[in-house]
Each structure stands twice: as structure tokens, then as C-alpha cells.
């Protein structure tokens, strides 16, 4: 008996993914739950397990393909009366306006927004010359626009509606208006490498943020001399629990407190409905540098976890990010982000606020500096912090207050107990 | 050296359209052509003079046929010199008008031949006096080869190559003469040969044959394929042929000419059957004619442009490679119209000229036409637009063809033109009109409605529900569309298809 293995649902709102690797070959005998392919969705790479065992007689996909949920991956022979779970192959229309925005990354590749509405015609797109020209002027691909007229005919209004959809979606890859780059080979030998999925998403996401969020960066140095003593003292306790007491873990804990103190920093701006979304939970993203590129796993309910718990969780999350084992859920729903480059170096930098968040904390390398205290210079350990924030919601005074509060708490952690 | 913003080489329908558009978009334009006025082959030696002469042929044909309906004329007298003058007056009037429009737009018109010196420089042999044209002869004007006495150099920012195409010479033809003519020489009407052989049954050959037949020549045809107009819809061509059984005194299909000898005012032609090993009936057959018209195809007019000095790439047939915006591999150089290949049609060139000008002005335009109409101005005319039946099959489109015969059109019968056909290709499901073909009087004018329909993504019901004036042959389009839904007016409805 031959049986098809189809791509199962990977996560909510994920309708397709890019096939990174095929882990089996024709002729292989596979077991149930054995990994068969590796799928890259937004920023997560996921292994897809076989729902049943058997001998592979055909592989219907190629590395690099975009595969939709419900699409056949393999044909397997010698399957013994296995009941195949009914795969939900329905493609969902887009994503709700906010679902994809609470995370850095879109839950589904952008072209799916419209490819879920294919044209009825197998000939050319039903749009008049003036409408085609209008779409071209806006940098939109007419083939991706859904027509609402008779026979699927596309009107000016359909083009405008599509443009709005593209602009509002954080994944504006549809704009074909990228400038041509010069032919660099004129000046010397060059190599060409396709952009990876993660690179592309990072590029699009940062451009989106840069263009939509007016960002201000506030700098401050926190005196962590006392905190460092405490950290080194308490290290062993945390290590016993299986974690590592890092500055990132401490900043995670303190940021949660700051977000409680300053709720505006735990909000999102909804320009479409002219409203501000205040969140009553505190989820914080941590930027992790991996071989594949930047990943941002999100720690949930930070305020409800102890420093030890957070240290353990961070350890696990960072490891999974580096091994590409993060699920897309683990990267969604962040309200605020911490990017700690201190381990690498630098005196300060200006991080970019994630789309649909309002602030990000950048951390640079701490250093011992002379500080004038009580009439003399004394050596103190100072930690440079940069806070980038969305000026649409947060004014300069708010930003300064937030960062000053953070620094005070870093200097005297016991303040938070008062 | 003078720096020019937009320079266009060749002032045919593509070149002058590009020049006018660029000027209207506020750019400084320089237009270079050997003729005194814009127009190119189309106006000087192609479309326009051909249509003037074809109009005469049609008038004569209709007058002769009126005898059947009770209006008898005497055999017409043909004053070749007067016909020629009239044709030339038409050309002069139209090209003069274009010259006027060029001046009004403040376009810098340089009469001369241009060639590339490097990717941003042109060398130009400027014609200072008009009498030079008389010496070189009209049909030699396109040949850039003998014109490299540069008396002018200029630098350009953007350039559009619109030099068109020239007739293909066969290997055994050294040069075209008054007896061994190409279509351009044939239009000069230097004589009306008693016996004319047309070599090549494409649309130029067929139109030329129609003209000379009307002027009194006995016309024969040699065609290498099994039919005339091999790229046209065979059904439409078949209907044309049924009405033109007597056009040719003799016609040889699947036959080629292997030699042409001109002697003592005659041309001796050697014929040989091709692709037919079994049939040896035509081999080394010699036939004598008073003149031969060679219309075996066109090649891009790039000789003498020194494209390689600008680094411009051409395809295997010599046409300049250009993208949908008209851009060549050299970013600031565009190629439009016949010289860039595709369908060699003036209206396509004109559209491309407009697009190229817009692109140079920074717009995002591109050539994305869905229906390029093609018309053969024979009697009756044949016109097509959009996808053909063959193309629909290749694209796996589910379609149905509906045909309305002109015998059921009141106007066609009243004009004594009951042999005609209007057909539409309609996509099943969406009911969109994807293609159209018409054979009949003024088919070329009728096809435009279908072009608009295809471009607008009209459904058959849109055409069926638009009121067409009665009595006109345009109603045949509406009736064909009605036929798709099974309720035409003037023919019996088709049997219901099982659902």
C-alpha cells in the first residue's frame, strides 16, 4: 500500500515554509516519527517527523522549494494499515493585523497573502492597460492582485486595496521598487550568494521598522560595581539549578520591573485604529547571534519568574536558537527586546526597535572607569546602555526617565524591594 | 562636443513616436534620419504608399464587380504617372505634417546617418543638401554602410535605436533593380510589368500582388511553404483564397527559386520543388517574367551602425536584444520596433517608442500589451488580435471558438461582401475574450473593438450586451459573442451542448 506524507500544520498562521533540507532519500526505510525534512518558516527551523513508517518510493519536493501545509512531501510504500490523520490543507487568508506584528517576523511568507486568491483564468491577468500601469507605478505585481470585478477583473480600487494591504503588513516584500545595484564586476572579481530566508526577513523587518518608526536613542552608563559583586557571589546558586547568572538574565528581570513601572514601554502603536495597545503580560525578546543570523526568542511572563528560573530558561533558549531548534511560537509575542553585544565589545550602539514594539535596550561592554565620588576619583564598573524608542508613543522625558530608573536599579538593586 | 539628452536614430513610426513622447515629457530630443522628414519606411516606402495603391485596387475591383448588380463601368484606363504622383502626394502630405509636428515640439532634427563611435558618442554624416537623396536613390537611404564621412559628432545621455528592418536579399541577387525589385522599389511604380513573379507569399508579397494585379499585371507566385501567409489563421486565409482563385496566373507552393537571370528586359527564373523527394515534377524549370518582386522576409537594419563599438548585444538573427522596457544590455541605450525583433509592425514599434520615452523620463512603464493586432490589407482584408487557437492550446487554456459568417450580416450582403467571417476565442469559465480573427471588407478597422475588449479583459457578455449600430459589419462581433451563449439573432442557434 502506498501512502502520501503531507506537510502537517506547523504552527498557527503558518501556511507554508521553505524546505531547507531533505533528510531522507528514495529507497530509505523510515520509522514513524523519524525526521524527514527540515522546514524553515519565519525564523524557526523545524524538523518534520514522519507520521508513519515505510519505504520511500518518491520524493515530491526539492530543497529550496516553498511548501504549503497539505502539500505532498513523500510517497511511502509498505505502510501497514496506518490511519493517516486528516491534514488540514486549507490555506488561511492572510494573518490578523496584529498577529504577525507582535513578533519581529511574519508568520507566513508575504506572497501567500494574495496567492491564496489565484485568478480563475489561465490566460493573462484580467486588468485593463491603465490598471496594469497603475499597479506598475506603485511597484506592485499585477499578477498578485485579487480582482473583484466580473471574471476576476481587477479595478483601480482592487489595486489600491492591495497596496494598503501590502503597506500595512510588516512584510512588504511586494515592493519591487528596489534600486538596481551597479555591476561591481567592472571593478574587480565578485561572487554572488542568494540571501537566506532569515537574512531576507531581517532585512525586510528592519527596513519596515526604520521607515515606520521615528526612533530616538537615549544613552546612559549604569554603575554596576555592586551588582557585579552580587552576580559573582550568587553565580554558584544559579549554576546548581542548571542556569548561568549572566548580565542578560539580570537585565531581563530588571526590564520586566521597568515595564511594570512604565507601562507605555510595554505597549504597541495601532495607527490604523488610532489607539494604543497596553499589554498586561510581560514577554521580552532576547536577540541571539547564531550562525544562520539574528534570532529573537521570546521569554514569556518574565515578571512571574525568578532570576534563577530566567537564567535556566535563557540557557535553554539560547542553545536551541543556535541549534535551530526554536519553534516559531517561541519567537512570537515579544513586547520589548534586549540586545546585549557586551560579550563582543563596543562602547555603545543604536539598536532598531522591532516592528510593533516601542522600545529596545542595547547593552555594550562594561568597563572600569574613574568616577568622581565624594571628592575623589574611584574606579567603578560602568555598563553602557542605549535605549531606542518609538517617538510616536514615547517622548524624550519618558525615555530618559525609563533609562535613569534602570540605571538606578542596576546601581542599587535593593531599591526595587522598597 | 555637444551633449544631448535623448537621441533617437531612425524616424519611423517607432522613432518619431519616441521623439514626440520624450519631447512632450519635457526632455531635449534629437532625432536623426536620412529623410527630410520623419516617417521612415512606413510612410515613405511601406504602409502608407501601399495602402494608397491598395485603395485604388479596391475601387477598381468594386467598380468591376458592380456590373453584376447593374452598374457597369468601362474598363478603367490607368495613368501610371498620375497614380504615382497621387501616391507621392499622399506621402508628402503625411511626412510634411510630421515634419511640422517635429518643429512645433522643438525637436532637433538632423538629416543624416549615424553610427556609434563609443557607448556615449555618435558620429553623424549630416546631409547638407537635399539633392544627395536624388543621387543615392530612395531605397538606398536605409543603408548606413556607405555613410561614414562624419562631419558631426555628439555625446548622448540616452539613445534609442529605431532603425527598423530592410528586405532580405537572396544569395543570388546582387542588388535590387527595376526588374528584380523589393517591395520598396515596386512601390515606385516605374513600370507596370506585363508578367510579374512575386517571390514569397507573406503579407507584403500578397499586398504587392494585389496592387499589380489591379494595375493590369499578370501575377504569379512562388512560395516555399505549402500556403500563402503561413503564420496567419489558416481558416481566415482559406476564406480569402476562395475569393481570390484568379489572383495568380500560376502559383508554385513548396517551391523555391534557385537562380534569377536578367537579360534583354526579361528575367528568367529557375524553380525547384522543395521538401518533396517523391515529386520531381518541378526541377530546374525555367520561367520567363518581365519583373520579379522579392518579398522573402526582413532583416534588422543594423549594418553600418557599429553596434559593437557601443557593446550592444544582438540575437542569433541579428536583432538587437531589448527587455520589456526596450532597454538593451547597455543601460542608457534602448532599441525599439523592427530592429529589436518580434512582430515587425509599425503600431508595435510606435507603442514601444512611447514606452522607451517614458522609461527614460523615469517612469516605470513596460511593454505588456495582450493584443497586438496584425492586418493584411488584401481584398478582403484579414485581421487578427490576441491569442490564436494554437497559442491557447499551448498554454493549456480551456476555450471555445465562436464564428459568425458574414453571409448572415445584412450590411455585408448589401455591400456585396457576403464572404467573410468573424471569430472570437473565448475562455471557458471566465468567459473572457482572448483572441479574435476577421476576414472581410475593412477587417483591419473592425479588429480594434476586439483589441480593446481583450486589453480590458472584457467578457463575451460585455461585447454581446453593447449595442452595435445596425446595419454595420461590426454587428458580427456582437453576434459572435451572442453565439457563445447560444442566442445569436441572424443565424440559427446551435444545438444545446449537453451540460
Q: Is A332 helix (H, G, I), strand (E, B) or coil?
A: coil
- Total tally of structural domains belonging to chain A: 3
Q: Touching check for B237 and chain A: CB below 8 Å?
A: no
Nearest residue in chain A measured CA to CA from B397: A122
Q: Touching check for B465 and chain A: CB below 8 Å?
A: no
Residue where a domain stops, chosen among B314, B331, B360: B360
Residues B349 and B217 in one domain: no
Please, where are the H alpha helices in A241-306? 247-261
Residues B388 and B402 in one domain: yes
Q: What is the mean pLDDT of residues B87-110?
A: 96
The answer as to whether A139 is a domain residue is yes
Q: What is the mean pLDDT of residues B103-132?
A: 88
Residues B55 and B141 in one domain: yes
Residues B288 and B325 in one domain: no
The answer as to whether A194 is a domain residue is no
Instruction: Compute the Cα dihedral for B28, B34, B37, B39 and give only its sign.
Output: negative
Residue-level pLDDT at B2: 87
Question: A335-351 burial, b for 16+ CB within 10 Å, e for fewer?
Answer: bbbbbbbbeeeeebeeb
The answer as to whether A96 is a domain residue is no
Residues B413 and B349 in one domain: no
Residue B84 has pLDDT above 90, yes or no: yes
Task: Please identify which residue in the block is written with the cell numbers 522573402.
Answer: B296
Residue where a domain stops, chosen among B326, B360, B394: B360
Catalytic annotation present for B468: no
The answer as to whether B231 is a domain residue is yes
pLDDT tens string B367-407: 999 999 999 999 999 999 999 999 999 988 999 999 999 99
The answer as to whether A20 is a domain residue is yes
Of the ranges A80-84, A346-350, B123-127, B347-351, the best mean pLDDT one: B347-351
Per the CB < 8 Å rule, is A121 touching B427? yes
CATH of the domain at B476: 3.30.390.30
pLDDT tens string B448-457: 999 999 999 9
Residue-level pLDDT at B106: 96
CA atoms within 13 A on the CB side of A400: 3
Q: What angle do CA A28, A34, A37 make, to 5 degrees?
A: 80
Q: Assess contact for B451 and B458: CB atoms under 8 A.
A: no
The answer as to whether B238 is a domain residue is yes
The answer as to whether B103 is a domain residue is yes
**Whole-number Cα distances in Å, B297 to A402, B140, B236, B312, B497:** 79, 17, 22, 24, 44
Residues A157 and A264 in one domain: no
Residues A122 and A68 in one domain: no
The answer as to whether B384 is a domain residue is yes
Q: From the CA of A262, how many Å to the nearest CA of chain B?
A: 47
- Picking from A121, A137, A154, the nearest residue to B432 by CB comes out as A121
Q: How many contacts does A have with B, using Cβ atoms within 8 A? A: 49
Burial of B396 (0-12, 13-18, 19+ CB in 10 A): exposed
Q: Assess contact for B310 and B122: CB atoms under 8 A.
A: no
Residue-level pLDDT at A110: 36
Sequence-distant (≥ 6) Cβ neighbours of residue A318 within 8 angstroms: A286, A288, A297
- Picking from A123, A128, A136, the nearest residue to B427 by CB comes out as A123
pLDDT tens string B311-341: 999 999 999 999 999 999 999 999 999 999 9
Residues B34 and B162 in one domain: yes
Q: Which residues of A touch B369 (CB under 8 A)?
A: 129
The answer as to whether B81 is a domain residue is yes
Per the CB < 8 Å rule, is A136 touching B365? yes
User: What is the residue-wise DSSP string for B186-242?
Assistant: HTT-S---SEEEEE--SHHHHHHHHHHHHHT-EEEEE-SSSSSSTTS-HHHHHHHHH
Residues in B 343-362 with any Cβ partner in A closer than 8 A: none
Per the CB < 8 Å rule, is B429 touching A120? yes
pLDDT-derived band at B265 (thresholds 50, 70, 90) equals: confident
Sequence-distant (≥ 6) Cβ neighbours of residue B468 within 8 angstroms: B474, B475, B477, B478
With a threshold of 0.80, does the pTM exceed it?
no
DSSP A174: T
Residues B227 and B283 in one domain: yes
Residues B221 and B282 in one domain: yes
Per the CB < 8 Å rule, is B398 touching A152? no
Q: Assess contact for A385 and A403: CB atoms under 8 A.
A: yes
CATH of the domain at A150: 4.10.320.10
Residue-level pLDDT at A13: 61
Residue-level pLDDT at B11: 97
The answer as to whether A237 is a domain residue is yes
Task: Please identify which residue in the block is written with the cell numbers 571593478.
Answer: A187
Distance from C-alpha of B43 to C-alpha of A100, rounded to nearest angstrom: 60
DSSP E strands: which ranges in B331-469?
Answer: 333-335, 374-376, 381-386, 399-405, 421-427, 433-440
**Grid cell in block for residue A242:** 542548571
- Picking from B364, B395, B427, the nearest residue to A136 by CB comes out as B364
CATH of the domain at A275: 3.30.559.10
Residues A232 and A151 in one domain: no
Q: Touching check for B387 and chain A: CB below 8 Å?
A: yes
DSSP B422: E
- Picking from A123, A136, A150, the nearest residue to B395 by CB comes out as A123
Distance of CA A318 to the CA centre of its chain: 14
Residue-level pLDDT at B360: 96
Q: Which residues of A touch B363 (CB under 8 A)?
A: 137
Residue-level pLDDT at B448: 97
Beta bridge partners of A293: A290
Per the CB < 8 Å rule, is A123 touching B392? yes
The answer as to whether B57 is a domain residue is yes
Residues A256 and A342 in one domain: yes
- Picking from B363, B364, B434, the nearest residue to A123 by CB comes out as B434
Residues B338 and B475 in one domain: no
Q: Touching check for B455 and chain A: CB below 8 Å?
A: yes
Q: Assess contact for A286 and A338: CB atoms under 8 A.
A: yes
Residues B81 and B136 in one domain: yes
Residues A371 and A286 in one domain: yes
Share the mean pLDDT of chain B.
91
Q: Which residues of A touch B455 (CB under 8 A)?
A: 128-129
Q: Touching check for B397 and chain A: CB below 8 Å?
A: yes
Residue-level pLDDT at B169: 87
**Cis omega (within 30 of 0) for bond into B380:** yes
The answer as to whether B175 is a domain residue is no
Q: Which residues of B touch A152 (CB under 8 A)?
A: 430
- Picking from B397, B455, B457, the nearest residue to A122 by CB comes out as B397
Pick the residue of A118, A121, A122, A123 with the most B CBs within 10 A to test the interface with B by mutation: A123
The answer as to whether A55 is a domain residue is yes
Residues B309 and B345 in one domain: yes
Q: From the CA of B463, how many Å to the nearest CA of chain A?
A: 13
Residues A38 and A137 in one domain: no
Residue-level pLDDT at A111: 35
Q: From the CA of B434, how many Å to the nearest CA of chain A?
A: 8
Q: From the CA of A312, how many Å to the nearest CA of chain B?
A: 55
Residue-level pLDDT at B282: 63
Nearest residue in chain B measured CA to CA from A182: B331
Pick the residue of B387, B398, B425, B432 with the most A CBs within 10 A to test the interface with A by mutation: B432
Q: Touching check for B457 and chain A: CB below 8 Å?
A: yes
- Picking from A122, A126, A139, the nearest residue to B457 by CB comes out as A126
Residues B399 and B457 in one domain: yes
The answer as to whether A265 is a domain residue is yes
User: What is the residue-wise DSSP string for B262-285?
Assistant: EETTEEEEEEEE-S-SS--SSEEE
Domain that holds residue B444: 374-484
pLDDT tens string B13-34: 999 999 999 999 999 999 999 9
Q: From the CA of B365, how many Å to the nearest CA of chain A?
A: 7
Q: A142-146: long-range contacts at Cβ-Cβ below 8 A with a sequence spacing of 24 or more? A: A143/A119, A144/A111, A144/A114, A144/A115, A144/A174, A145/A114, A146/A114, A146/A117
- What are the backbone dihedrals phi and psi of residue A114, each rounded to the nearest 5 degrees, phi first? -110, -20
Domain that holds residue A152: 111-168
Residues A234 and A162 in one domain: no
Q: Which residues of B touch A125 (CB under 8 A)?
A: 457
Residue B58 has pLDDT above 60, yes or no: yes
Q: Which residues of A touch B395 (CB under 8 A)?
A: 122-123
Torsion of CA B350, B356, B358, B360, to 10 degrees: -150
Residue-level pLDDT at B135: 40
Residue-level pLDDT at A108: 35
Q: Which residues of B touch A145 (CB under 8 A)?
A: none
Distance from C-alpha of B97 to C-alpha of B99, rounded to nearest angstrom: 5
Distance from C-alpha of A276 to C-alpha of A264, rounded to nearest angstrom: 9
CATH of the domain at A32: 2.40.50.100
The catalytically annotated residue of B147, B150, B347, B470 is B470
- Total tally of structural domains belonging to chain B: 3
- Picking from B366, B427, B457, the nearest residue to A153 by CB comes out as B457
The answer as to whether A51 is a domain residue is yes
- What are the backbone dihedrals phi and psi of residue A59, each rounded to the nearest 5 degrees, phi first? -115, 120
Residues A126 and A48 in one domain: no
Q: Which residues of B touch A126 (CB under 8 A)?
A: 430, 432, 457
Q: Which residues of A touch B433 (CB under 8 A)?
A: none
Nearest residue in chain B measured CA to CA from A131: B456
Q: Touching check for B459 and chain A: CB below 8 Å?
A: yes
The answer as to whether B429 is a domain residue is yes
Least confident of B102-116, B208-222, B272-286: B272-286
Q: What is the mean pLDDT of residues B64-82?
A: 93
CATH of the domain at B334: 3.50.50.60
- What are the backbone dihedrals phi and psi of residue A222, each rounded to the nearest 5 degrees, phi first? -100, 135
Residue-level pLDDT at B277: 62
Low-confidence ranges of chain A (pLDDT < 50): 81-119, 173-174
Residue where a domain stops, chosen among B337, B360, B383: B360
ipTM above 0.90, yes or no: no
Amino acid at each position: 500500500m502506498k501512502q502520501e506524507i503531507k506537510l502537517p500544520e506547523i504552527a498557527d498562521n503558518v501556511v507554508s515554509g521553505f524546505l531547507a533540507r531533505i533528510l531522507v532519500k528514495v529507497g530509505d526505510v523510515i520509522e514513524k516519527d523519524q525526521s524527514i525534512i527540515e522546514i524553515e518558516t519565519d525564523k524557526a527551523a523545524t524538523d518534520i517527523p514522519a507520521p508513519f513508517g515505510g519505504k520511500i518510493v518518491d520524493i515530491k519536493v526539492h530543497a529550496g522549494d516553498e511548501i504549503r501545509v497539505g502539500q505532498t512531501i513523500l510517497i511511502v510504500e509498505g505502510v501497514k494499515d496506518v490511519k493517516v490523520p486528516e491534514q488540514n490543507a486549507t490555506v488561511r487568508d492572510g494573518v490578523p493585523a496584529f498577529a504577525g506584528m507582535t513578533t519581529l517576523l511574519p508568520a507566513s511568507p508575504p506572497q501567500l497573502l494574495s496567492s491564496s486568491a489565484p485568478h480563475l483564468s489561465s490566460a493573462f491577468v484580467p486588468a485593463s492597460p491603465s490598471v496594469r500601469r497603475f499597479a506598475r507605478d506603485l511597484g506592485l505585481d499585477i499578477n498578485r492582485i485579487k480582482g473583484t470585478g466580473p471574471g476576476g477583473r481587477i479595478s483601480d480600487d482592487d489595486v489600491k486595496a492591495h497596496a494598503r494591504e501590502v503597506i500595512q503588513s510588516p512584510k512588504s516584500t511586494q515592493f519591487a521598487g528596489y534600486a538596481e545595484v551597479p555591476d561591481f564586476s567592472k571593478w574587480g572579481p565578485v561572487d554572488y550568494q542568494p540571501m537566506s530566508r532569515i537574512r531576507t526577513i531581517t532585512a525586510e523587518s528592519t527596513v519596515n521598522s526604520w521607515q515606520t518608526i521615528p526612533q530616538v536613542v537615549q544613552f546612559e552608563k549604569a554603575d554596576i560595581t555592586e551588582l557585579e559583586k552580587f552576580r559573582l557571589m550568587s553565580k554558584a546558586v544559579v549554576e546548581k539549578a542548571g542556569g548561568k547568572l549572566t548580565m542578560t538574565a539580570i537585565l531581563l528581570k530588571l526590564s520586566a520591573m521597568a515595564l511594570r513601572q512604565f507601562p507605555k514601554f510595554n505597549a504597541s502603536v495601532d495607527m490604523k485604529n488610532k489607539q494604543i495597545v497596553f499589554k498586561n503580560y510581560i514577554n521580552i525578546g532576547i536577540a541571539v547571534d547564531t550562525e544562520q543570523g539574528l534570532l529573537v526568542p521570546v521569554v514569556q511572563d518574565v515578571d512571574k519568574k525568578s532570576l534563577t528560573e530566567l537564567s535556566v530558561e535563557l540557557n535553554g533558549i539560547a542553545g536551541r536558537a543556535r541549534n535551530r531548534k526554536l519553534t516559531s511560537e517561541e519567537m512570537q509575542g515579544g513586547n520589548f527586546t534586549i540586545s546585549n553585544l557586551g560579550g563582543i565589545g563596543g562602547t555603545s550602539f543604536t539598536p532598531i526597535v522591532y516592528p510593533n514594539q516601542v522600545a529596545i535596550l542595547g547593552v555594550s561592554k562594561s568597563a572600569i572607569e574613574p568616577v568622581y565620588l565624594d571628592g575623589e576619583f574611584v574606579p567603578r564598573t560602568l555598563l553602557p546602555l542605549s535605549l531606542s524608542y518609538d517617538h510616536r508613543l514615547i517622548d524624550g522625558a519618558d525615555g530618559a526617565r525609563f533609562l535613569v530608573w534602570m540605571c538606578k536599579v542596576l546601581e542599587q538593586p535593593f531599591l526595587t524591594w522598597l | 562636443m555637444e551633449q544631448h539628452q535623448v537621441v533617437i536614430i531612425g524616424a519611423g513610426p517607432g522613432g518619431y513616436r519616441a521623439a514626440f513622447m520624450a519631447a512632450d515629457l519635457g526632455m531635449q530630443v534629437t532625432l536623426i534620419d536620412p529623410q527630410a522628414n520623419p516617417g521612415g519606411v512606413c510612410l515613405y516606402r511601406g504602409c502608407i504608399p501601399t495602402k494608397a495603391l491598395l485603395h485604388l485596387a479596391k475601387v477598381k475591383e468594386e467598380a468591376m464587380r458592380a456590373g453584376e448588380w447593374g452598374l457597369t463601368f468601362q474598363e478603367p484606363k490607368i495613368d501610371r504617372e498620375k497614380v504615382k504622383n497621387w501616391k507621392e502626394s499622399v506621402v508628402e502630405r503625411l511626412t510634411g505634417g510630421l515634419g511640422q509636428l517635429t518643429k512645433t515640439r522643438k525637436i532637433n532634427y538632423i538629416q543624416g546617418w549615424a553610427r556609434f563611435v563609443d557607448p556615449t558618442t555618435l558620429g553623424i554624416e549630416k546631409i547638407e543638401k537635399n539633392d544627395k537623396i536624388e543621387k543615392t536613390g530612395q531605397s538606398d537611404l536605409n543603408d548606413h554602410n556607405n555613410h561614414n564621412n562624419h562631419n558631426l559628432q555628439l555625446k548622448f545621455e540616452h539613445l534609442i535605436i529605431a532603425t527598423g528592418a530592410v528586405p532580405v536579399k537572396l544569395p543570388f541577387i546582387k542588388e535590387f533593380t527595376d526588374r528584380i525589385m523589393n517591395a520598396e522599389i515596386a512601390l515606385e511604380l516605374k513600370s507596370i510589368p506585363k508578367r510579374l513573379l512575386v517571390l514569397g507569399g507573406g503579407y507584403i508579397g500578397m499586398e504587392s500582388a494585389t496592387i499589380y494585379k489591379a494595375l493590369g499585371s499578370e501575377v504569379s507566385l512562388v512560395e516555399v511553404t505549402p500556403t500563402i501567409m503561413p503564420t496567419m489563421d489558416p481558416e481566415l486565409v482559406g476564406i480569402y483564397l476562395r475569393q481570390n482563385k484568379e489572383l495568380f496566373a500560376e502559383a508554385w507552393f513548396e517551391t523555391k527559386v534557385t537562380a534569377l537571370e536578367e537579360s534583354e528586359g526579361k528575367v528568367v527564373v529557375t524553380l525547384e520543388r522543395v521538401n518533396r523527394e517523391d515529386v520531381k515534377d518541378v526541377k530546374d524549370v525555367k520561367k520567363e517574367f518581365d519583373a520579379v518582386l522579392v518579398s522573402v522576409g526582413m532583416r534588422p537594419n543594423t549594418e553600418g551602425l557599429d553596434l559593437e563599438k557601443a557593446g550592444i548585444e544582438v540575437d542569433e538573427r541579428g536583432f538587437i536584444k531589448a527587455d520589456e522596457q526596450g532597454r538593451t544590455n547597455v543601460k542608457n541605450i534602448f532599441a525599439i520596433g523592427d530592429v529589436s525583433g518580434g512582430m515587425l509592425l509599425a503600431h508595435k514599434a510606435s507603442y514601444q517608442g512611447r514606452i522607451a520615452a517614458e522609461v527614460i523620463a523615469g517612469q516605470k512603464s513596460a511593454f505588456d500589451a495582450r493584443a497586438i493586432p496584425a492586418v493584411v490589407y488584401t481584398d478582403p482584408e484579414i485581421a487578427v488580435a490576441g491569442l490564436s487557437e494554437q497559442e491557447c492550446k499551448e498554454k493549456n487554456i480551456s476555450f471555445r471558438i465562436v464564428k459568425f459568417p458574414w453571409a448572415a450580416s445584412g450590411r455585408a450582403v448589401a455591400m456585396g461582401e457576403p464572404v467573410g467571417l468573424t471569430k472570437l476565442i473565448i475562455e471557458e469559465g471566465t468567459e473572457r475574450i482572448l483572441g479574435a480573427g476577421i476576414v472581410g471588407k475593412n477587417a483591419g478597422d473592425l479588429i480594434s473593438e476586439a483589441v480593446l475588449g481583450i486589453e480590458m479583459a472584457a467578457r463575451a457578455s460585455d461585447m454581446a450586451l453593447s449595442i452595435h449600430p445596425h446595419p454595420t459589419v461590426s454587428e458580427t462581433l456582437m453576434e459572435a459573442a451572442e453565439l457563445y451563449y447560444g442566442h445569436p439573432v441572424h443565424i440559427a442557434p446551435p444545438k444545446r451542448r449537453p451540460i
